[in-house]
Structure 1
Amino acid sequence: MKGAVRKRGDTWSYYFNLGLIDGKRKKKEKGGFKTKKEAEKALRDAISEFEKGYIEPTKVNFTSVSTQWLEEYIKPLRKITTYSRYKEMNKKYLIPYLGFKEINKITALDIERMLLDIKKNNISDTTLQGIYTLCNSIFERSIKLHLIQNNPCKGVERPQRNKKQTDVLEVEEIPLLIKTLDLENEYDYMFYVAFRLTLELGLRRGELAGLTWEDISYGENVVSIHNNLIYNYGHTYMETTKTKGSTRTIYVSNELLEMLTQLNKRQEFKKNEYGEFYENNIFNDKSYDLVMRWDNGKYIHPMYYTNKIKKVVAAAGIDKTIRFHDLRHTNATLLIQQGVDFKTVQTRLGHEDINTTLNIYAHVNKEMQKNATEKLNNIFGGKLVAKK
């Protein structure tokens, strides 16, 4: 491909033909160069970029690019929860600040000002980091589509989030919590089942809610995890597990299997009792024989566990902020306390990367610290005592 340079007044410019675009013959021209040499170099660079597939967009704004990215790239390839979260974040944060700007004219300063302004609304560090990550992904995709040459997010420092010290239950607090439950009450009984399952298996909330009777193998003492029942923006969905590593098989105790056996008998009795009024749980045109369901057959909403744990912890007089997800943290902490290696903990929890396990459970409770100190003292003995 050839082009040419020419002088106009006191400056030089270059031009070259782009060919037919949308049925019209077009060319690219740019001026303002002080010397012929500068214009010739700019011409060579421009032709090189064009031959790689880059065409400078005209009046393509951020709203158009981000919406297309969501609908044509994220929606078909990612989970519905991811798509919904990205769409909401794009609408609420990115478009109000960047939507009207042409995609190739957005600068690092624009991104930085946006993040600083959003931060004034007292949003969490996690959300701010998510906004940056989403913005960065949109610009990275724009580079691959040859809409822009450089990602302006690269010139902005990625927001950091403060690591929260999560609360976990101590061993002696577990029976206190159980004592608050009335097992004759349907709602307390099902929470007790959820509590036992999560403490022993370290399940995520959605994995617990999506567990089916087909997932339980009594002969092998294992439970298979491959469903994820989630609540997102007013809708409940059945999806596959969070990651490939989350699809796993966990060995379970005989005691837990016995509890599940009793639950299964209860459900069969209730199914006969309700007869034609017994509810089936259908997601994506598929029926699921869920373990976690009410007496009338209807699935237990994921938010039930979130709301119930607060009431139970308060009733037990435990002065901690325990989320339902912290039962999963408690499971991991108890395993580590008992000397279970991190690789086994990683497998049971379904973390793809062991660093995730190490980062989340790097904190230790007082008992673990006490044991560590005692072991060191046993090693040192009186060797650290100064001799007179």
Structure 2
Amino acid sequence: MEGSVRKKGNRWYYSFEIDRDETGKRKRIERAGGKTKKEALEALRNALNNYDNGYVEPKKILLDDYINDWLENFIKENRKITTYQRYKEIYKNSIKPYIGYTSLKDITAIKIEKLLQGEKKKGLSSSSLQGIYGVLNSLFNRAIKLKVLKDNPCKYVDRPKREKFTPNTLTIDEFKKIINTLDKSNNYNDYVMRIALQVILELGLRRGELAGLEWSNIDHNNNCINITNNLVYTNNNVVMSTPKTDESMRTLYVSNNIIQLLKKHKLLQNELKLKYGPNYIENTFNSKKYDFIFTWENGKYIHPNYYTVRFKKILKANDINKNIRFHDLRHTNATLLLEQGIDFKVIQTRLGHSDINTTLNIYSHVNLDMQKKATDKLSNLMK
């Protein structure tokens, strides 16, 4: 393929023809090349090289058009529904107001920095700013792969730093206090919450993983539970998904205590099925039936949000004045394991973290205590 350069006024321009479009006509592209013929020839060589490698400078594609296509035809098809919904909200609230109607090729690092600064002034947390940066970085990388964009402006913007997170946890005495105040005999709500809390403390599950547990997930021969489901609430709907990451699809060893607890629960659930007969609810998601471990008396699944709301009320009733979420029971599980000297790698596997640095960073406060004990032991050896 060849091109040419010519001078118009005080500037030099380059041009070349590309292959025929859908109408059968060849298209000529002409762009400003610089102030000298040499600059124009260099710009022509770069443009021809880009074209030979599949990239042609696009027409004025607005970010709004591109990102909506990206969300609907790539993210929705290839990511979890929760990721799709979260990305949509991030774009709508934090990206579109700033650069939604800017041409894709005109988005620069300085525009992204101003966007992040603007959202920071609104009071958004560092993790939220990281989420915005992550969406932008991902969509630009995809655009480059599709030859729609030549470079990713996020490369020239510092990724927002996440604030150090120290989880809130319960002590084992506080947990026992909660368990002992739940009536397991006369109140089904208390009974099922009591079992759920015991399972969470031992296994460190996310609430969606707990809500999605099925009887078929239990391997009685090996005392294991397979984590394969994630029942989540998103966009005003409860949907069945898979766990958060590939590493979250895991097999966890469970104690005999939990196995026996669940066996008794299964017997009660069978009695309730007989009691309700044809009125016992079968839970179906995406045309598939699920035999959940945790259900209400009539068989209906327990909404994931229930655990969050009920746990907050339980804390208040027990005068435990800590800012602890239901999710923090997962952190309580990990902290207790660490305090017992369990290796970080084992805890990473049990929690389903894809990166051990996530585990190390979250529980660094416990790690320091472990280091102190190790130092004390070495010091005693030297005495």
Aligned counterpart, 2:14: 14
Q: Is the 8 A contact 2:126 2:163 kept in 1?
A: yes
Aligned partners of 1:374, 1:102: CA distance in 2, in Å? 58
Deviation of 1:215 (Å): 1.0
3-state SS of paired residue (2:134): helix
Contact 2:169 2:331 in 1 (8 A): yes
Instruction: Give TM-score scaled by structure 1 length.
Output: 0.93
Q: Assess if the C-alpha contact under 8 Å between 1:207 and 1:225 holds in 2.
A: yes
> Cα offset for 1:356?
2.2
The answer to whether 1:303 aligns with 2:305 is yes
Question: 1:148, 1:378 → 2: CA distance?
Answer: 58
Match of 1:211 in 2: 213
For 1:374 and 1:108, the matched residues in 2 are separated by: 47
Give the C-alpha shift of residue 32 in structure 1: 5.8
TM-fit CA distance, 1:181: 1.4
User: Does structure 2 conserve the Cα–Cα contact (< 8 Å) formed by 1:129 and 1:158?
Assistant: yes
Structure 2 SS opposite 1:93: helix
Q: Which runs of 5+ in 1 are unaligned?
A: none
1:27 counterpart = 2:35: no
CA displacement 1:237-296 (0-9 Å, x = unmatched): 111222221122211111111111111111111111111211111111111110010111
Give deviations 1:98-125, integer Å, cap 9, x for gaps: 1211111111121111111122222222
Q: Distance in 2 between matches of 1:150 and 1:37?
A: 24
CA distance in 1, matches of 2:374, 2:115: 51
Structure-2 residue corresponding to 1:40: 41
Structure 2 residue matching 1:364: 3-state secondary structure = helix
1:115 touches 1:128 (CA, 8 Å); kept in 2?
yes
- Residue 139 (structure 2) aligns with: 138
Distance of 1:219 and 1:374 partners within structure 2: 38
- What TM-score results when the alignment is normalised by the length of structure 2? 0.94
Matched residue SS, 2:244: coil
Correspondences of 1:302-381 after superposition (within 5 Å):
302-364=304-366, 369=369, 373=372, 376-377=375-376, 379-380=378-379
CA distance in 2, matches of 1:100, 1:382: 68
Deviation for aligned residue 1:3: 0.9
Question: Contact between 2:14 and 2:33, CA under 8 Å: does it hold in 1?
Answer: no
Aligned residue in 2 for 1:237: 239
Q: For the residues of structure 1 that align with 2:73 and 2:181, how far apart are their CA atoms?
A: 50
Q: 1: distance between equivalents of 2:89 and 2:207?
A: 22
Written as runs of structure 1 = structure 2, the 5 A alignment for 1:116-127 is: 116-127=117-128
1:102 corresponds in structure 2 to: 103
| Residue matched to 1:113 | 114
- With over 3 angstroms needed to count, the CA separation of the structure-2 counterparts of 1:124 and 1:377, relative to structure 1, is closer
Residue number among 257, 260, 263 corresponding to 2:265 in the alignment: 263
- 1:31 partner SS: strand
- Taking the aligned partners of 1:158 and 1:374, their CA distance within structure 2 comes to 36
Q: Are the aligned partners of 2:213 and 2:293 in contact in 1 as well (CA < 8 Å)?
A: yes
Going from structure 1 to structure 2, the CA distance change for 1:101 and 1:379 (only over 3 Å counts) comes to: closer
Contact 2:338 2:366 in 1 (8 A): no
Q: Deviations over 1:109-165 (max 9, x none)?
A: 211111111222222221121011101111111112222212122222211221222
* 1:173 alignment partner AA: E
Instruction: Map 1:154-169 onto structure 2 (within 5 A).
Output: 154-169=155-170
CA separation of 1:175 and 1:33: change in aligned 2, threshold 3 A: closer
**Following the alignment from structure 1 to structure 2, what is the Cα–Cα distance between the partners of residues 11 and 252?**
75
Q: Identity of aligned pairs, percent?
A: 49
1:372 offset after TM fit, Å?
6.0
The residue that corresponds to 1:173 in the other structure is 174
Cα distance in 2 between the residues matched to 1:142 and 1:126: 24
**Cα pair 1:180 1:315 within 8 Å, conserved:** no
Code of the residue aligned with 1:208 in structure 2: it is L
Q: Which residue of 2 aligns with 1:73?
A: 74
Structure 1 CA distance, aligned partners of 2:17 and 2:35?
23
Q: Which structure 2 residue ranges, 5 or more long, are not aligned?
A: none
Superposed structure 1 runs of 4+ greater than 6 Å apart? none
Give the match's secondary structure for 1:172.
Answer: helix
Residues 55 and 197 of structure 1: is their aligned pair in 2 closer, same or farther, counting only changes over 3 Å? same
Cα 1:28–1:342 change in 2 (3 A) is same
Distance 1:97-1:196 versus aligned 2 partners, 3 A rule? same
* Residue in structure 2 matching 1:194, options 188, 191, 196: 196
Structure 2 residue 223 is the aligned partner of structure 1 residue 221: yes
| Distance across 1 between alignment mates of 2:274 and 2:381 | 70
Q: For the aligned residues, what is the CA RMSD?
A: 2.0
Aligned-pair distance for 1:69?
A: 0.8
Q: Distance in 2 between matches of 1:375 and 1:74?
A: 46
Amino acid at match of 1:193: I
Matched, 1:253 2:252: no
